[in-house]
Every structure is written in C-alpha cells, then in structure tokens.
A and B are shown apart, each in its own frame.
Chain A
Amino acid sequence: MTTTRRNLFKLTGGAAVGAMLTPAPWRLITDSALWSENWPGIPRPRRGEVTFQFGNCSLCPAGCAVRARCVANQPVSLAGVAAHPLSHGALCAFGIAGHHLPYHPGRLKSGPAAEANQAVRAALGQLRGAERCAVLDLRPGRTASWTYRRAMAAIRNGVYLAPAAPIAINLAAAKTVFSLGAPLFDGWGTPGNVIAARDHFRLIQAEPVESRTAIMADLWLPIRPGSEEALALGIANLLLKEKKIAGLPAGFADRLREFPPTMAAMHSGIGEQQIAALARELQDNGPVLVLGENGSPYAAALNLILGAPGRTLVLRREAPVPDDWKKAAPVADLASVPDGSIRVLLIDESATGEALPWSAIQSKLAEKAVVVTFAWSKEGYGRQAAFTLPTAVYPESLDDIPPAVDSPAAAFRLSAAWVAPPDGVVNPADFVAGLAGLAAKDALQERAAAIRKSGRGSLFVPSSATSTPARDVKPDDFWKMLQAGATWIDDLDANAPAPKLDVPALPAGTASSAFPLVVVVTEPDTPALVSPLLSKVYQESNLRLAPESVALHPSDARACGLETGSRARLETDCGSVAVNVTVDSDVPPGVVQVAGGPGIRKICGASSRARVVRS
C-alpha cells in the first residue's frame, strides 16, 4: 500500500476531529486563561515558613505591642497583642503598616558619616570659652538618651537638651476629662489605653472643629477658633471665686479679671449657663483631668485649681538605670542655653517626639556651628542641617521605647530588629558615644540588668499573654524575653508624692492681623515616614488629611486665591513650610486645619496662628 496525500489528509482530519473529543484542546483553551492572569511585571509573593514574632512599635512614644506575622523571617503583616496591659491590642493605621518603612522611597540609605564625624571632631577641638556641644533629643527617656547624657557629661561643655516632661497622666483615675482641643482619639497617648479607659470617664471636648475626639466625646463644645483662653479663664473664675491658689503664674489674677464668665461666653460662643454648668460639673464630678495642647498654660492652671496633681496627674517615672549612669549630664531646656552659644549641635530625630521650631534652635547656634541630624529622611531638620545621617528605621533596630504620657508606671520595652538595615546607616548613640570615648554598645543590656536587679515590677510576655513578677524571672531569661517583645511594667507606688505642677507663663495677647487664621491640628504627628499604603486614607478616600496638607473653608480659600490641589506655604511667626491645600466646607471659617508632620510641627506650637500664601 502506498501512502498518498489523500491518506495523509484523512489521517490529519480524523485526528483533529478525534482530538476535539478528548479533553486536551478544551483544557488548553481553559489553561490559556491562566496564562493571561500572571502578567509579567506583577511581583509574586514569596513563600517560606510562617512564624509569629513579637515586638513593640517605636513609631511614636506609645510603644504599642506588636505581633508580626513573618514569612521566612520577613514581616508581612502586623497586629496588636490583645491581652497587653498597656496597649490592649490596639495598633494605629501607621503602626499596622510599619513594616513597609524600610522600603519607603524617601528613606535615606547612606550619608556623609565620615565627613560629619570629621567636621564635628574638628569643631569640638576648636570650642572656645562658653561655646557648647549640644545633643537635642526629641524623645528623651530612652537608653540612647542616657548614652547622650553620659557622653555630654564626658565632653567639655557638653549639654543635653530635651523637652521636659515631668508629668504623667493616670487616665484610669479620671471621672471627668475636660479637653481643650487635645486629640485624645487622634494620636494622644496610647490609643489602646484611651479606648480601654473610655467607658469610665465623661469626656467634654472644647474645640472649634468637629475632630475625631469631638465626635467620640460625650459633649462637644464648638467654641470659636482661638477662644480656649477665654473659656478656660471663664471657668477658672467660677471655680476660684476669689480664692487664691499657690502655683499660678504671675499675671494670672489680672488675666482672670479680663475674662469673667460673661466675657468668656461672648468670646467662645458658649452660653453663660453652659459655662456655669460645666464649672459645676468639673467641681463635683472629680477626679478631673484637664488636657490641652502641648504646653498649654490654661489646662495646667485648671488642673492645679481642680486638684489633679496626685490623682489624675502623677510623677513621670522612668525604668531604673545602672548606678554609674547617674553621673550623666542633666536634662536641660533649650531656653536655658544662651543665644549663639552652641557650636556643635547633634539632633536625634530618629525617634519622633516633640519637635522644636527651627527658629528657636537657630538663635542658639553660634556662627560656623556644625549641625548634624540623625533622621530617616531629609524632610525634618535635614532641610536646615549641614549633615543628615541616615539611621535604621522602625523594624530594623533594637531600641527601647520610654513610657508614654498616659502610663502612670514606668515601663521598659524594646522594638525588635526584624529586618536588616542597609549598610550605610549610622547608630546615633554609637556616634555620640564615640565622640566622648564611651563604650555604649551594650547599654540596653546593661539597663535591662539594672531593671532586673531592682526586683520591682512584672514582665508581660506576649507569646503566652501572661504577667510574671520580674523577680521570678531568671536574669538571663529577662534579657532574652525583652528581646522577644516582652514588656516590663513597674509596680505603681501608692504613696507617691503629688507632682509639682509648673504652670507655664501666659502668652502675651497676639491677635495679629498678619496671621489671620487659627491653626487647628486635626491629624496626629506622623512619624517622619509613613507607609505608602497610607494613601488609602489620604488621597484614595479623603478620610484623613495627608501630612504637610492644610484644609481651608471655601471663603478663606477664596480670599487667599487657593483651591483644592494648590501648592501654598503655611506661614507662622516661627517659619514656613510648603503644603498642599484642600478646600472643605466642614472647616469653620477662620481656621486652617493642618495635618501634623515633621515640617508642620516645626513651625506650629500651641495656639498658633498662621496665614496661607499661594506659592
């Protein structure tokens, strides 16, 4: 038999028909759908062993406990630790995506470390007379802070500068909380602690804007912008009724006379009767806690009048330190340094806390001062400093977090180093210690040993959700457990003396027409970097105001010639910063709502006034 072309065609045709009756071609067609699914260029998740590791979040002083789900030792998601006595399982939006920060595009990976070192040493060698070398620490109380203090004690004319914070708040002891615009539910203290204590106190929020805290409050007093002083003094008048109380600043009595309840009502827009009822409530429903913006003298004065010290205000305590550390430099205030006397300034802004306006710092700098800042990005003091040295960011470094403002007991907890930092980063404590010839590499371990030696307090272990008295934990285990995310919490001292409340001086009347808008900060201070996923709450939903943004009422925006999306400059008497503008009819007229961030906080203090100028 010969094979002809016709045979071949018959075979092929029959095979084709036969193949159609098999699953093969249909499966191939279906499978092609799978090929279209995995486009090149879409990254694939990595596989690996899944483990859970514990640590604490160092993005803000709250230091909330974190449980990280790790794949091949890389954190892929973070969650709170439900049974934790301080944070109660809460993590804020920034903390939940904190594991993205090492990959943030704005994050610095290398810097002029050698040049900075050289410049600093040269300047230190040339210190004349009363010129100082200063370290400005934005988050004092850490072990690194002690290293700075020890180093400054060893260096001639070394001074350690940090914001003073001698008072801690015992929220659980409060029955009534009167807040003059404090963001209780928006980045204040430890979120989990505030939420856990919420059902036990009545919250009265006096604020011109309906902030998140105002929405959650039992009573929101929509006061006119800038009238906190009037309201506070009006209430003080009713509470004091000619009584005298020690500890109030000079001029307080005079100011009191300026704001009797009628004037208070007129300025604030709150009726006299309501102010009277408020004063009665504060008097009768104690213990009372009065909160205000940072450094607000009105809140402090009211706290003094209402007897908060010793009840809702307690002495701020730190975890114990080794005895030989106590010979360190004292904590000094920037204001106490003479103008033009700082020749070398080292700023540690790698741990966010209270930022100081650059204008206040600048006046203290000598000519030819060398300024080095240790930061995650160039957006903070990097805009003014000569040298910006990158540090490890949140999940890359083992660091301790001092207790938050609402922690009445001392606490010691560490943030874990889950991710390896890039090679070019600098450890600021090592840098400064190196200048003073200090060996401080094991400072954390030394401090842990000192805490254990004190025999006080208890250790909360997140993996088992149990608390053990510290003295029942073996010293070796103590350090290991701290590194694995445990938290040491001191015992509360029932007989602790009431703290002495220093009421700051009252500010001079400002009402400047040059700065017509009252600044209301409606978003918490964000860390220097936030995960790119925060775009979900910023531009992808308009739920929150993005950092370095302001919101204006339509009439104010029109007056400034601005609309949503405009670039502008927010100017105060402390400086100016570039911002994005949003027009929002929910903003009261006369107010500029700002979102905290490294730039904004450096120009806005308590009760700031500002103007917004098109750039």
Chain B
Amino acid sequence: MANAMSDQADKELISRGLKRCSTPRFVLWMLPWVALLIFGLYAAGLCLVKGLNQTNMDNRFAFGLWIFLDLTVIALGAGAFFTGFLVYILKLRELRAVINSAVVIGLVCYSGAVAVLMVDVGQPLRAWFTFWYPNVHSMLTEVTFCITCYLTVLAIEYLPIVLKNRKLREVPAFLVFEFQLHKLTYVLAGVGTFLSFFHQGSLGGLYGVLRGRPFAFREGFFVWPSIFFLFIISAAAVGPSFILLTTCLVQKISRKRLVRVEVLRLLGRISGLMLAVYVLAKTVDTLIWINRTSPERGFPASQYYSWNPFGTWILFAEIVLFGLVPALVLLTPRLRARTGWLVAAAAMACGGVALNRFVMTVQTLALPTLSFDRFLSYAPSWQETGTFLAVVAYGVLVYSFSFRYFRLFPDERELQAAVPPTDTREADPILAGRY
C-alpha cells in the first residue's frame, strides 16, 4: 500500500507525456552510483583529514590526476556555454533540443571540478583568500574568479529547468520566479560565454605563462600566451562533441529517441569546424614553439620527446590522430550521416582534448628542467582515483535525477508520440495524462 502510494507520488513528479521506468527500477539504477559516491567521499575524506600525503603527488609532481581531470572535465563541460552561445546569441534554434542537457552537464562538470579542487589544495579553509588578496598577475586568480562566477551562472541557468518540474510548477511563487528568470536567459547566456571565454583560456594560460617550464611556455598576445586561445578553441570544439556523446549514451541507456538525428549531426558539424580551426592554430603554434620559443630559452625541443614513454608519438597523436582525423570525419557529410562514425569521431575529439590537457599538466611536470634532474613518473593513488570517481558518481546521480524529473529534452515528447504506443492507455491523451 505504501509502496503503491510512493510510486504514485513519484509518478506525479515526472513530466506529462514522458515515459520513465518504475520507481524501484530507478532506485536500483541509482544504488551502485550512490555506493560509488560514498566510497569516493570516503577517499576524499581521508585526504582532507589525514592530509595530501594520501595521494601520490610530491614536490616534483605538484599537480596530478585531479588537476588533469579537472581541466579535462571543464573543457568537456564547455558545451554548456558554447551551446548557450549558439542558441541564444547566434540563434541556432535547433540546438534548443540539447541546451537543457548541456546545462546540467556543465553544472555537474563545474561543481565536481570545484569540489575536487577543494580537496586538492592544502588548506581548503583558506579558499577565500584568493578573493580577499587577489593577485592581478596570476592566471589562477582569474580562473578562480571566473569559475566561481560561472558556476553561479550555471546554477541560475539550472533553476528554470528545476522549476519547470510538474509538481513545482504548482507553486505560484515558483512559476512567477521561473518566468522572470526566463527573461534573463539571453543575459545569462552572454555572461556565461564571456566568463567561459576567460576561464577556459586562463586554464591554458596557467601553463602558458610558466617561464620556468619551457615545455609549457608560449609567447602570445599581450599578457595572454597562445595556449590561452588554443584552450578556448579546443573547449568550444569539444563541447558539442561531448554533448553529442552524452546524448547518444542517454538515448542508449533509456532506450528512447530524445533528439532528432539532425541535431546530432549539427553538433558534429560545429565540433568538426571548431576542431579544424583548432588543429590549424595548434599546428602553427607548435611549429613556432619548436623552432623559436623553446630554443630561445635554452631548451631544444627534441629533448622533450626523448624520454620514455613520451616520444614524438604523443605529439602526433594529439594533433593528427585525435585532432585532424576526427575533424575531417566530422566535416564530411557522408561520414557524418552515419551515427557510428559520428559518435566515434566525437569520442576521438574528446580523447584528443583530454590528451592535450594531460600533456599540459602531467608531461610538463614529468620533464626535467635542470640538467641534473631526472624524468619522473607518477601514478595516482587509490584515494585520488576514488575522489574522482565520487565526482563521476555525483554527475551520474544528478543527471539521472534531472533526466527523470525534469524535461531535459524538449523534443522527447514529440519524438515519443511519433512512436506508435503499445499501450492503449498511452494512446488516449487524457488517460495518459498529457493534459
């Protein structure tokens, strides 16, 4: 009896016209992720309570798995701002089909990254010092300000999605508030784009300004090294690809058509275009770096790739294999039409950006700077991996929750209607609750 009542209450939270699995099945789906989250929180708790000696980072590898994954995850979450830019500023209306999902992914990526950063620093209680004693010369100050502001923007963008929930709409105050928020959408999208432009770039700038690390150091424009711009372009390139991937994944798991296939192809095309621009810019930048920037600082570029396992293959993989190849695939309409190629190319693009972040964070620190240094290796400890798995679990939980109770895919109802219903109850609009 109680079960039936809670099931009924649960069903009332689900948007009209959308089919979702039964409550017990949903709980079953969430349980392992909750378990993973608890394990991850325990790992993170160990790091907070016992100190960062729980990780395998050390004085030479000051940054490790967390920073690498933070940078990757923020690049992947760039879909949120870029899609918002495309929909609200460039008026690409078709992408409204995925904008909500993109916002949730962005929120999850950014909030997860910020949470991991709080564990990564030695004194989390002093996090507010950056706001109180900011250093205008430091890229990290810029990153901190921009990311916290952008996280706020994302939270505000997430609110309407939440407030549009079937049950919450019944509260008049929420309805009015949501309506008011709706007017801000363009402003939020603009602010989000502006902030993202800067922090995506500054994350690259973090490494580009390191004069003491000629592997990472680049010249650039005014105070911004070239990596600043390369990171923005690559984030914009990989954002749509990641949305493409996640949408396909959600479609597969939920066994529903959520978006029109043209939307996916459009995402792929945009990603391919940005990726092509990125590969061109990156190639030019790399050539300048190899031939001028690095040698001028006394570091011939060849020695960077003379250490196992980071041979020249890594440069080739980053720019050609996981950069040029997916760009070409995504720009070819014939290949784009085939979902298999589309998804594979999107995955390779994401992989390429992850590789790029890896090279910038991990390879930079592994390479020696003094002639009596050694090349170093580092492998994360289970506490580090666990903490990041907590973020993954958190992401899946939030997304699953949002997918079930909020309307993440506006076209879903239409696309479901196109499918002939097997259930007569579903066929009747009133009985099915679509009114």
Contacts and interface: CB of A to CB of B under 8 A. Distances in A.
The short answer to whether A and B are in direct contact, CB under 8 Å, is yes
Contacts of B129: 33
A36 B132 contact: no
7 contacts: A29-B132, A30-B132, A33-B126, A33-B129, A36-B123, A36-B125, A36-B126
Contacts of B125: 36
A28 to B, nearest CB: 12
Contacts, number: 7
Interface residues of B, number: 5
Contacts of A33: 126, 129
A33 B126 CA distance: 7
Contacts of A36: 123, 125-126
Interface string B122-135: 01011001001000
Interface residues of A: mostly helix, strand, loop or mixed?
Answer: helix
Interface residues of B: mostly helix, strand, loop or mixed?
Answer: helix
A33 B125 CA distance: 9
A33 B123 CA distance: 11
Nearest to A36: B125
A152 to B, nearest CB: 54
Contacts of A29: 132
Contacts of A30: 132
B340 to A, nearest CB: 48
A36 B124 CA distance: 10
Interface string B111-149: 000000000000101100100100000000000000000
B360 to A, nearest CB: 29
Ordered nearest first, which 4 A-B pairs have the shortest CB separation?
Answer: A36-B125, A36-B126, A33-B129, A36-B123
B373 to A, nearest CB: 13
A36 B129 CA distance: 12
Contacts of B132: 29-30
B76 to A, nearest CB: 34
Interface in A18-77: 29-30, 33, 36
A487 to B, nearest CB: 41
B131 to A, nearest CB: 10
Interface string B293-305: 0000000000000
A29 B126 CA distance: 11
A399 to B, nearest CB: 41
A36 B121 CA distance: 14
Interface in B144-199: none
A36 B132 CA distance: 15
A29 B132 CA distance: 9
Nearest to B125: A36
Interface string B314-341: 0000000000000000000000000000
A36 B126 CA distance: 8
A357 B123 CA distance: 52
A448 B6 CA distance: 97
A29 B125 CA distance: 13
Interface string B81-105: 0000000000000000000000000
Contacts of B123: 36
Nearest to A26: B132
B372 to A, nearest CB: 12
A33 to B, nearest CB: 7
Interface string B327-364: 00000000000000000000000000000000000000
Nearest to B123: A36
A274 B132 CA distance: 70
B396 to A, nearest CB: 35
Nearest to A39: B123
A173 to B, nearest CB: 39
Nearest to B128: A29
A33 B128 CA distance: 10
B169 to A, nearest CB: 33
A184 to B, nearest CB: 25
A60 B125 CA distance: 48
A29 B129 CA distance: 10
A81 to B, nearest CB: 34
B49 to A, nearest CB: 13
A29 B123 CA distance: 16
B93 to A, nearest CB: 46
A388 B126 CA distance: 51
B128 to A, nearest CB: 8
A33 B127 CA distance: 11
